[in-house]
Chain A
Amino acid sequence: MTLIYLLAAGRLRTYAQALALQGVLLFAIAFKELHGLREENYLNLVFILIETIIFKGIVVPVYINYLIKKNNLTYEREPNETNFYALFKIGLIFILSLYLGYALHNGNFQIGNAYRLSENTLKITYFTASISAVFTGILMLTRRRKIITLIVGYLVLENGLFLLSLAMGNEMPIVVNLGILFDIFTTTFLLGIFLTRVQNIFHDLEIKSLTELKD
């Protein structure tokens, strides 16, 4: 189920020209993770539940939407990238992470000895999903030109991380979770403020306007 969801999500991520959709997407991710968590049974379950639904599900998308409206961003289209190509890339990422996940799972990794991971060490579906989310995030960060997409890419990356920490089932203490929550929140917030400042000062939100500093 996670895999199907992620394929759809991954396609949306590169497909979606309307950035408002990204907010909905993040909400979907949060919702998905919520379901995953119920199956798990964590100690700080309540905290993570609240974090995902309220914070990742509502606050961040709303804020991103607010930013988009405030700065009059309507669409993003990459001139040099066709939809087919984007789809191709996300497919590639997906296959790669699937391979990675299953290779680790079945222990046919050809590095040194064969290391086989037991099912309860690593939730294989989550692992695959999170790795593809991380890859997608990195792809978005490196390929995109608009600042707002970079922020969204960062959020995708963070969501991938979140999923990865679910996958490994190793629980961070609540202090660290709080720290991460606080961190994502302030990061988004500050990035938003910077975005507005950049808009005001440079009158442009292309990353190429930020190339003054170099040697």
Chain B
Amino acid sequence: MTYILLYFGFGLVVCISQVLIKKTLGNFLLFVPFLLMQIVFTYFCYSQLDVFQDIYFRIDRIGVIFLAVLAIIAIPSVSHSAIYSVERKDSDSQMAYHNASITFFIMCMTGAMISNHLGMMWAFIEGTTLVSAVMIYHDRDKSSLEAAWKYFFVCSIGLALAYIGILFLGIAVQETKHLDLSVTALVAKAPFMNPLWLKVGFLFAVVGFSVKMGVAPLFSVDIDAKDKAPSPVGALFSGGLMNVGFIAIFRFYEILSVTSTRIWTDKILIIIGTVSIFFAAVYLIKVRNIKRILAYSSVEHAGLALIALGAGSMGHFASIFHLVFHSFAKSSLFLQVGQVFRIYLNKNIDNIGGYFKINPAGGTVMFLGFLCIIAIPPSGMFLTELYTFMALFGMYHWLVGGFLLICLTFIFASFINAMLRLLFAPFPGKLATYDVIHPWESISQFIMIGFVLWMGIFPNEGLVQFVRDAVKHLPK
């Protein structure tokens, strides 16, 4: 407990000093101790695995997995955001608020991942909403204002709905003469609870947290946010916040999976996932903005993760791995798109092209990243999608499976189209001057995509076993 408080205390100190110290260098140097602490804290959580637990916090495997992902993604995101700020010559105060927001954002996500108490988790997730408004509004123009307003507003409402869900669970647990709203206690008491309240609570919670995870029904603001926010923030949204939304839904699923409502819960997850993928497929055909393409692909993968969770057996395991791979691949793509924008000053794929010639290193990242994200075999995501479909067909969801395959084919086609245009199509018009981007700026992306590919070719036994253990308490 002391260590957790120490972490938050130190994080807050960094956050406040980032608001106060407005000099560029000092402000970014403050990230160094914070990120170091993030890594140390992740390691600490790993060492305290299954040992530490009280009513507010609990460290379990799924939390540690996503903490590690967050700690890894935070480093390139922060360094790219430094490049972004310097390139665009942001004013000091603008940058100070932005950086303080990033610190607070990472802190809140960490808190949500290790929360045991549902109310606590809710408060942390709401915390991410508050600062994300500042992050999205970074560019201070009309459209980013609109995106920030919409995101902030819909998130607040979505989380209010999620809070209703938590309250309904509270009513349910009260009938068993208990007042404890921690996940562990709820899991223990769930079989004795009134299924009606559980179901209603679950529905509210899933709808509410869908805004954070970026799945149907409230995914649209998430798209706007990822489009209008600076690319490094988009990377954090895809690589961190989505996992937080998943964890929130996962906690509810943990509670409901031990009750008689489990089959119903699975169905709900599969329906939500299928609807998300359908929307993603339809929109992807039409969308020309490269950042929005990436954002819709996040909707698709979040939907797949929920379907995998709902499909059960191998699916539980696949859903977590899928999100881990997705986090790495999508963050690196978002970071790379930031560089694409710096060259072309345009996000519409009809107005850009020939990226491979202009920036070979970045082009390679884009190429490999696209391969990963559409799950072409060397990518680890191919394996997880394979497992998902095996689980789905294993449960005799033939219709859903078939429909998903059709949707995925459309997504595949749209993605290939976008990728070929961006990388190899001749550039329409003439590019007068552009920033020369040094290959070392792509190193972090290479490492992250390399991990996904490496896990696809030689899955690491230890990691696989760790993830298997993380979901082994869920009923098959």
Contacts and interface: CB of A to CB of B under 8 A. Distances in A.
Given A170-B174, A197-B145, A190 B130 contact: yes
A51 interface: no
A165 B130 CA distance: 23
Given A117-B175, A170-B170, A201-B145, A213 B150 contact: yes
Contacts of B56: 173, 175
Contacts of A175: 56, 120, 123
Contacts of A122: 171
Interface string A182-213: 01001100110010011001100000001011
A165 B181 CA distance: 13
A180 B123 contact: yes
Interface string B460-472: 0000000000000
B160 A157 contact: yes
B174 A169 contact: yes
A154 interface: yes
Nearest to B120: A176
A164 interface: yes
Interface string A96-120: 0000000000000101100101100
Most buried by B among A157, A158, A169, A187: A187
| Interface range for B | 35 or more
A168 interface: yes
Interface of A is mostly: helix
Nearest to A109: B196
A150 B171 contact: no
A1 interface: no
A170 B126 contact: no
B205 to A, nearest CB: 14
B153 A150 contact: yes
A158 B227 CA distance: 29
A197 B173 CA distance: 44
A79 interface: no
Interface string B178-207: 010100000000000011100000000000
B123 A198 contact: no
Contact of A179 (B123, B170, B196): B123
| Interface range for A | 35 or more
A187 B156 contact: yes
A26 interface: no
B167 A158 contact: no
A80 B181 CA distance: 44
Nearest to B118: A176
Interface string B207-247: 00000000000000000100110000000000000000000
A212 B142 contact: yes
B140 to A, nearest CB: 9
Interface string B273-296: 000000000010011000010000
B224 A187 contact: no
Given A161-B163, A173-B119, A121 B130 contact: no
Given A170-B171, A179-B126, A161 B179 contact: no
A115 B167 contact: no
A154 B157 contact: yes
Interface of B: 55-56, 117, 119-120, 122-124, 126-127, 130, 133, 142-143, 145-150, 152-153, 156-157, 160, 163-164, 167, 170-171, 173-175, 179, 181, 194-196, 224, 227-228, 283, 286-287, 292
Which 10 residue pairs spanning A and B have beta carbons closest together?
A: A179-B123, A176-B119, A170-B170, A168-B171, A183-B126, A213-B224, A210-B146, A172-B119, A194-B149, A186-B130
Interface of A: 109, 111-112, 115, 117-118, 121-122, 134, 141, 150, 154, 157-158, 161, 164-165, 168-173, 175-176, 179-180, 183, 186-187, 190-191, 194, 197-198, 201-202, 210, 212-213, 215
Given A168-B171, A179-B122, 19 more contacts: A141-B157, A157-B160, A164-B164, A169-B174, A170-B171, A172-B181, A173-B117, A173-B120, A176-B122, A176-B123, A179-B127, A180-B123, A186-B130, A187-B152, A190-B130, A198-B145, A210-B150, A213-B150, A213-B228
29 contacts: A111-B196, A112-B196, A117-B171, A117-B175, A121-B171, A122-B171, A134-B164, A161-B164, A164-B167, A168-B167, A170-B179, A170-B181, A173-B55, A179-B127, A180-B123, A183-B126, A183-B127, A186-B130, A190-B133, A191-B152, A194-B149, A198-B149, A201-B145, A210-B150, A212-B146, A213-B143, A213-B146, A213-B224, A215-B287
